[in-house]
Structure 1
Amino acid sequence: QRFFAWCQNCLSLRSIQLGNIPLISDDEAKLLSAAGGEIIYSDPKSPASRVTERLNKFGDTTLSDTILGVAFNYACEGFFQVNIPVYEKALSDMKAWINCNEKLSTLDLYSGVGTIGLTIGGDDVTLVEINEHAVAEMQRNITKLNRPNAKAILAPSEKSLEYITGKQIVIVDPPRAGLHADVTNRLLETEPPRIIYLSCNPVTQARDVSLLQEKYEIVHHQGYNFFPRTPHIEHLVVLDRNI
């Protein structure tokens, strides 16, 4: 408890010190002031990396990266792809399947801060995301990019079924659990002409694709090594409605 109290009180925009002993130089303190950061406490009993308590914060903790020439801001705790070169390769491959249907609008489900929809989704794109912080950053990105026809929706994808109309290309990039059953059923009901499915869990993706094959056929698939020297891969499947 004394350590946590020290953390809460020791950090200023000018110095970090333990008693009278400086822990960083003046130049390092200036760099910290120009940037930003947080001291957080995460309960080691938690199975996930979650913030138990925020001990201190300084500066602006918003991060930024550029994807396919488009600059994105995102919160330091928000989701963002870490292997950007491979992610850009996946996006470029996905874009080729959107350019074939330029007259159609795009629906981006599980959209995060909009790195898929706002880079390859065309002018008329609707982005649905459950995380309020991600949607706030996405809305700022939309404004910054001057995209008046891009719409950010704060809601779970399974509670946004009215946006799946069957008259757009649908992009899905769900968490490891895969598509919610209601989303799968709505896709089968409305039959959009093309579904572009990027997955971080090929097992649940295979489950979802097997259900969608009632009315769709696989026209393309590709794996991506986002995390070298680990067993994890990202997998892209493009499905077209059966004629």
Structure 2
Amino acid sequence: MRNYQKRDDYRDNYRRGRRNDHRDEPQVEVEEGQRFPLTIKKMGINGEGIGYYKRMAVFVPGALTGEEAVVEVTSISHRYLRAKVHRIRKASPYRVEPRDSYADQVGGFELEHLAYPQQLEFKRDIVRQSLERYHPYGFKDYDVRPTLGMADPYAYRNKAQFQVRQTADGTVQAGLYAERSHDLIDLPTCSVQMPVTMTVMRALVKMLQDLEVPIYDEEHNSGIVKTLVVRAAANTDDVQVTFITNSKKLPHKHQLLLRMADELPQVTSVMQNINPGKTSLVWGEETQHLAGEETITEKLGGLAFKLSARAFLQLNPAQTEVLYDQAKKALDLQPGQTVVDAYSGVGTIGLSLADVAAEVRGMDVIPEAVADANANAALNGITNAHYEVGTAEDLLPKWAVAGFRPDAIVVDPPRTGLDGHLMDTILAIHPQKLVYISCNPSTLAKDLDTLTDDYRVDYIQSVDMMPQTARCEAVVKLSQR
């Protein structure tokens, strides 16, 4: 057994200090609606400004580092306050006017008021903040590289997934929920969406209105259409529409499809996903084909990928190629080496490695995604890649028993980070090379706290996949100690 005592002592000392920092939290008498001046000292990982009122942290969405503002308290917690900007007394030189008038009302525009070069600096900094919070071994010496951004940080999102509701006067609206609520904000425009997605979205809203298709009522759990999803392929002319509904019924379906065929010729695939009842999940398990093709095709890095309605694909096609190039560079596969693509989705990462790997294997828990991945391998004439349904923590040991132990593993987990069983499996399989693609710096830092028992962090390369938001992706190169 390895002796990790030195590393454990290192962690314990940092954590002991962190606990002591919060032992005597200040108590402040303050009321909701109270206003006071505040200087913003830094920005938090969610893009909000952070200042201190009588030593208590105050989180202020829309405020920037260095700004002086009068803020109004909106909520009170034992350890912190939340507030909104009432008036800015001294603005940051990096403050810009957002293109979207509703940027301060809905999620996904947390940084649109910040100049883009400073957005990139912020995203590098939130990686550092996350490391500082969880203290993985040796974190102060990590090479955290400048964020790779876009030449034009707008019109990049290939999918619009908008909730649909009907107002008291019968007007059909489609948009996003206001922050911390289920109040729908109608979005007639959206600067970060590919224009075709908004053109199709607004046309669909008008059709639903004209045909009086029943719209879902969340309060009474009645009506049919819950959500509209429009996904466009940036490098082909394909567009897919999915109606997410409360039941299998879709009243006026025939008339709706006729109008779509006549007015929206750019739509090549129409699907219906059934997601009944009140649920926090947007998608249901059953998807039906309504018209056109069952999939759309996107091209990335010289490869073609067929995408079914529920298949995961990064929202920013241009930066996806940058991200995967960085992953390929970090893996640095040599002739004869094998790789496993965990959380493989439709195979975009693994298939991009097939030209250098001796063999690519991957897995996903969604059967449709695995079917898409194997179909995409065949579509591109790739014969050294194979995908199976299941979890990596189940399949990796099974493959090891059969004699397959990969030289490298690449993981691209959801925002919740790596499954604990998968981390144990990775440490047991102990591949020579490990690349972690993260969409959440906090869970990345937490996972690195475990992975650095056996691996060293060579570098972290952040990539801006979602400009105007506080979201940050990063490619981490890890090597055996």
State the TM-score, normalizing by the size of structure 2. Answer: 0.44
Residues of 2 paired with 1:24 and 1:178: CA distance? 43
2:436 maps to which residue?
197
User: Based on CA coordinates, which of the two structures has the bigger radius of gyration?
Assistant: 2
Return the match for 1:130 from 365, 369, 372: 365
CA 1:39–1:209: 2 relative to 1, 3 Å? same
- Which residue of structure 2 lines up, in the alignment, with residue 103 of structure 1? 336
SS at match of 1:38: strand
> In structure 2, what is the equivalent of residue 20 of structure 1?
none
Deviations along 1:162-217, whole A, 9 cap, x unmatched? 24665411000011121111211122222211100001111111111111111110
Whether 1:38 and 2:278 are equivalent positions in the alignment is: no
Q: Which structure 1 residue ranges, 4+ long, deviate > 6 Å from structure 2?
A: 52-56
Q: Deviations over 1:80-116 (max 9, x none)?
A: 1110111111111111233353331111100000000
Choose the corresponding residue for 1:220, options 459, 469, 472. 459
In 2: Cα distance, 1:219 partner to 1:55 partner: 46
TM-score, normalising length: structure 1: 0.83
Residue in structure 2 matched with residue 24 of structure 1 by the alignment = 259
Q: Tell me if the contact between 2:363 and 2:387 (Cα under 8 Å) persists in the aligned partners.
A: yes
Aligned equivalents of 2:440 and 2:383: distance in 1?
A: 33
Is the contact between residue 8 and residue 56 of structure 1 (CA under 8 Å) also seen in structure 2?
no
Count of residues in correspondence between the two structures:
232
Q: Which of 233, 245, 250 does residue 8 from structure 1 map onto?
A: 250
1:206-242 Cα distance to aligned partner (Å, 9 max, x none): 1111111111101121111111111111111110001
Contact residue 138 and residue 152 of structure 1 kept, 8 A? yes
1:26, distance to aligned residue in structure 2 (A): 7.0
Kindly indicate whether the alpha-carbon contact (under 8 Å) linking 1:11 and 1:56 is maintained by their aligned counterparts in 2: no
Aligned to 1:160: 395
Partners of 1:130 and 1:156 within 8 A in 2: yes
Structure 1 residues 164-183: aligned runs within 5 Å: 166-183=405-422
Offset of residue 45 of structure 1? 3.9
Write the distance in 2 (CA, Å) between the matches of 1:2 and 1:119: 43
Tell me if the contact between 2:272 and 2:288 (Cα under 8 Å) persists in the aligned partners. yes
The residue aligned with 2:294 is: 61
- What amino acid maps onto 1:209 in structure 2? L
Change (3 A) 1:128 1:2: closer
**SS in structure 2 of the partner of residue 177 of structure 1:** coil
Aligned partners of 1:105 and 1:169 also within 8 Å = yes
Q: Secondary structure at the match of 2:426?
A: helix
Which SS does the other structure have where 1:229 is aligned?
coil
Contact 1:8 1:55 in 2 (8 A): no
Name structure 2 gaps, 5 residues minimum: 1-211, 215-223, 225-246
Q: What CA distance in whole angstroms lies between the structure 2 residues aligned with 1:71 and 1:234?
A: 23
| 1:114 aligned residue | 347
| Aligned residue identity for 2:362 | L
Q: 1:203 to 1:25 in 2, by over 3 A?
A: closer
**Change in 2 beyond 3 A, CA 1:48/1:168:** same
CA drift of 1:56 comes to: 7.6
User: 1: CA distance between counterparts of 2:453 and 2:445?
Assistant: 13
Distance (whole Å) between structure 2 residues aligned to residue 86 and residue 140 of structure 1: 24
In the alignment, is residue 70 of structure 1 matched against residue 312 of structure 2?
no
- Residues 1:94 and 2:327 are matched in the alignment: yes
Question: What is the DSSP-based 3-state SS (H/G/I as helix, E as strand, rest coil) of the residue aligned with 1:8?
Answer: coil
Deviations 1:15-56 (A, max 9, x none): 549xxxxx8387437x37x72213556568432312498798
Residue 379 of structure 2: aligned partner:
144
Secondary structure of the structure 1 residue equivalent to 2:328: helix
CA-based RMSD? 2.9
* Cα distance in structure 2, aligned partners of 1:186 and 1:26: 50
Aligned-residue sequence identity (percent) comes to: 25
| Paired residues of 1:91 and 1:120 also in contact (CA < 8 A) | no
Judge conservation of contact 1:166–1:193 (CA < 8 Å) in 2: no
Q: Distance in 1 between matches of 2:451 and 2:289?
A: 48
User: Structure 1: 5+ residue runs without aligned partners?
Assistant: 18-22
**Aligned AA for 1:196?**
V
Change (3 A) 1:151 1:55: closer
Distance 1:25 1:227 in 2: 30
CA distance, structure 2, for counterparts of residue 2 and residue 93 of structure 1? 46
Whole-angstrom CA distance in 2 between matches of 1:152 and 1:46: 31
Instruction: Check 1:142–1:228 CA distance in 2 against 1; reply closer, same or farther (3 A cut).
Output: same
Paired residue secondary structure (2:458): strand
CA shift in 2, pair 1:230/1:166, >3 Å: same
